[in-house]
Amino acid sequence: MAQNTPRVSSRIDSTQMRIGEQLRYQIEIEADSTALVVFPEGQTFTPLEMVEATDIDTFRNKDRFNLTRKYALTQFDSGHYTLPRQKIIINNKEFYTDSLQVTVSDIPVDTTSQKMYDIKPLAEVSNNYSGWGKILLWALIGLLVAGALVYWFFIRKKPLSDAEKEALLPPFDRALLGLKKLEESRYLIQSQYKEYYSELTNIVRAYLEEEIHISAMESTTEELVARLELLQQSGKLNLEKPTIDNFKNVLKKADLVKFARSRPETRAAEEDRKVIENVVVKTREAIPEPTEEELLQQEEYQAKLERKRRKKKRVLIGITAACLLLITTGGAVAYYGFYQVKDTVFGHPTRELLHGEWITSEYGYPIITLETPKVLRRAEVKLSNAMKKVISTNQTFVYGNFTGNFHVSASVTTLREGVEFRVEDAVQGAIATMEQQGAKNIIVKQDEFTTPSGKKGSKVYGNLDITTPDGETIKGEYIMLNFTEKGAFQQVIIVHKQDDRYAKDIENRIVNSIDFKTQ
């Protein structure tokens, strides 16, 4: 059995140090190879500050393990300090190391070789926005990139290609330009009559389809000519009959060239192009002036097209902005973490407390000093007749409540002369008060506690269930620090939700700020 019992030992390289130097504190555990061992974590060495903790060094000795972990500790105030016992959990059982006395010495200063100056007054320090600075910098870069992309693709006037410029021309100018290019082409020189007449008829058909709104591209020669004659007879197209006949002859000749492999003379082909050019000019002259109703319809159509273009531009800008927001958010989440970004954007009550402006105040008498995110307000505590016989004065200061996001209270109690005082009774009374305020299933753990300034007290802590006015049960944590300074009893109680990401940092900062006025 003795061999199976874990062995815990600790040692320190020196019990004396200078301000700012580091001590090496080592914990050694000999336990069974199947044992579950939990070493101290965090700032459990108060009043000394842990700078670094090494990885656990494991050495196997037959069926047992020797586990060693080293800690670097420091202190920046001179004095005599007690390094508290450290708790090690082995298979759910608690083991403690011995406490040690450490002396921190001042660094000698030669005051004869340098001048002495008065203490400088307090200076206002602006809030630290270094983290936000990076976010804003990347967001600004992203906005500039997105703005440049939006300008380049959607806002700036892009230079048009020759094909785009030609497509923007009116149908008449486009037809004349196409005929001019056909005249300068090499189709006739290379005896490519089929290609020549195909392009010639396509130019005039496309013009008629756009200008007088008839289905010319899909129509046969007879159908196209019939439609032109019908428009002429109805008075919608003032085109002379010889012009229609010349146009019909050219279309028939083109059909023979394209489908019967006819080979006309080059001079005749050039004359046919001139005939088609004349048809285009005469057709434009033959179109009646649009009525006022038609002009209104065209204006409405153009306005509709403009609205569509604007809507498309807005949609594209919205998509670009959404992509930018997604990229910026993803980068921030990858760099800072999801909850940090979420709480920064949407807010989190305890995060605002942690990163807000903290206040250091003095409460009660004998004075207890605390640094808190908000000033504690005086609360009236009704004392029963039995308590009035024991308590001389009670001063209680509170922020928040049990069912809120964060609760902290500080009380200073003085007793009447001749009254025997026990801290355990005061703790039980505080727990009873917590139960009256909605706390249930309170788990009580107790340990010794020493403030950074060396004031000793007791720490009661654990978990509890909090019942809200709506009947909801919330898992919470609490810590109760008890001191007896200058003949009075001082107590600080902190209660917060168990799963709160920022509450523990607030709690540690408040606890480390506790001090008492000696004068």
Q: For the residues 368-379, what does the mean pLDDT come to?
A: 88
Query: What is the separation, in whole angstroms, between the first and last Cα of the chain?
Result: 55
Average pLDDT value for residue range 57-71: 84
Which of 161-165, 248-252, 509-513 has the lowest average pLDDT? Answer: 161-165
For residue 112, the model assigns a pLDDT of 62
pLDDT of 90 strictly over 80:
yes
Contacts (Cβ under 8 Å, ≥6 apart) of 480: 427, 430, 459, 460, 461, 491, 492, 493
| Alpha carbons 31 and 8: distance in angstroms, whole number | 9
pLDDT-based confidence at 484, cuts 50/70/90? confident
Are the C-beta atoms of 363 and 412 separated by less than 8 Å? yes
Q: CA dihedral defined by 190, 196, 199, 204, rounded to 10 degrees?
A: 150
Rounded to whole angstroms, the maximal C-alpha distance in the chain is: 138
Number of other residues whose CB lies within 10 A of the CB of residue 217: 12
Confidence grade of residue 312 (pLDDT, cut at 50, 70, 90): confident
3-state secondary structure of 453: coil
| pLDDT score at 133 | 60
280 pLDDT higher than 80: yes
Evaluate if residue 319 carries a pLDDT over 80: yes
Where does residue 463 fall: left (phi above 0), alpha (psi -120 to 50 degrees), or beta otherwise?
beta
The CA-CA-CA angle for residues 138, 139, 142, to 5°, reads 85
Average pLDDT over residues 474-499: 86
Residue 350 has pLDDT above 60, yes or no: yes
The topology (CATH level 3) of 349-516 is: Protein Transport Mog1p; Chain A (3.40.1000)
pLDDT for residue 423: 80
314 has a pLDDT exceeding 70: yes
Domain 7-105 belongs to what topology? Immunoglobulin-like (2.60.40)
pLDDT reported for residue 92: 85
Query: What is the reported pLDDT for 78?
Result: 85
Domain covering 162-288: architecture: Up-down Bundle (1.20)
Say which residue, 149 or 116, is predicted with more confidence: 149
Task: Return the structure tokens found at 285.
Answer: 């002259």
Query: What percent of the chain has pLDDT above 90?
Result: 6
Question: In a 10 Å sphere around its CB, with 0-12 CB exposed, 13-18 middle and 19+ buried, how is residue 1 labelled?
Answer: exposed
Tens of pLDDT along 419-428?
777 788 788 8
Over residues 214-261, the pLDDT tens digits come to 888 888 989 888 988 888 888 788 888 888 888 889 999 889 988 888
Give the count of beta carbons closer than 10 Å to the beta carbon of residue 244.
19
154-158, 185-189, 289-293: range with highest mean pLDDT: 185-189
Q: Are 10 and 98 within 8 A, CB to CB?
A: yes
Tell me whether strands 100-105 and 16-18 are parallel, antiparallel or unpaired: parallel
Q: Which of 105-119, 412-426, 437-451 has the lowest mean pLDDT?
A: 105-119
Q: What is the pLDDT of residues 5-29, one digit of tens each?
A: 888 889 899 888 888 888 899 999 8
Q: Contact 11/70 with Cβ under 8 angstroms?
A: no
Query: Taking a C-beta distance cutoff of 8 angstroms, is the pair 479, 507 a contact?
Result: yes
How far apart, in whole angstroms, are the C-alpha atoms of residue 169 and residue 376? 79
Do residues 437 and 457 touch, judged by C-beta distance below 8 A?
no
Mean per-residue pLDDT, 63-73: 88
| pLDDT value for 110 | 62
CA distance linking residue 512 with residue 356, whole number of Å: 18
Instruction: Give residue 2's pLDDT band: very low, low, confident or very high (50, 70, 90).
Output: low
Model confidence at 121, pLDDT cuts 50, 70, 90, reads: confident
What is the spatial distance between Cα 91 and Cα 505, in angstroms, rounded to a whole number? 28
Span 60-79, average pLDDT: 86
Claim: this prediction has a pTM higher than 0.85: no
User: Would you list the domain boundaries of the chain?
Assistant: 7-105, 162-288, 293-346, 349-516
Half-sphere exposure of residue 95: CA atoms within 13 angstroms, side-chain side: 21
Any bridge partners for residue 479, and if so which? Answer: 461, 494
Taking residue 434's Cβ as centre, other Cβ atoms within 10 Å add up to 20
Higher pLDDT among residues 512 and 290, named by residue: 512
Question: What is the average per-residue pLDDT within 70-98?
Answer: 89
CA–CA distances in Å: residue 240 to residues 228, 283, 317, 508: 10, 9, 53, 101
Angstrom distance (rounded) from CA 383 to CA 378: 15
At 216 the pLDDT is 85
Do the beta carbons of residue 56 and residue 88 sit within 8 Å? no
Q: What is the 3-state secondary structure (H, E, C) of 275-291?
A: HHHHHHHHHHHHCCCCC
Confidence of residue 213 (pLDDT cuts 50, 70, 90): confident
Q: What is the pLDDT of residue 291?
A: 64
